[in-house]
Amino acid sequence: MSDERKMILTMLAEGKISAEEANTLLEALAVSEVKPVKPVPPIPPVPPIPPKMVTPPTVSYEWEWDDRSRGRQRQRITPQFAEAMAQVGLKDLTED
């Protein structure tokens, strides 16, 4: 028995309230006790977001700047080729 019901019955026994008032209070108490409270499901924990680690790319920039090897790869045009191109209409045939 709940404490509220005991209190109402005690007040009735002491003559502080009438039987009709006690009945009204007990009915009101019964209505309020009948309402079931839906349990609230717990909120699932959110996993922490791992920090984003930015790793610089490992790129090697090694260059060989050998001007001597560049000179060997270049081919020079012959005067005959330059003359043939000039006859076709190409006038500026410098090496650069």
Would the pTM count as exceeding 0.75? Answer: no
pLDDT at 73: 55
* Helix, strand, or coil (residue 59): coil
Task: Work out the end-to-end distance of the chain between its first and last CA atoms, rounded to an integer number of angstroms.
Answer: 108
Measured CA to CA, the distance from residue 29 to residue 27 in angstroms comes to 5
Query: Is residue 67's pLDDT more than 60?
Result: no
Query: Is residue 14's pLDDT more than 90?
Result: yes
What are the boundaries of each domain within the chain? 3-34
Measured CA to CA, the distance from residue 2 to residue 26 in angstroms comes to 11
Dihedral (CA of 69, 73, 78, 83) sign? negative
Measured CA to CA, the distance from residue 74 to residue 52 in angstroms comes to 49
pLDDT at 11: 92
Query: Is 81 or 36 the better-scoring residue by pLDDT?
Result: 81
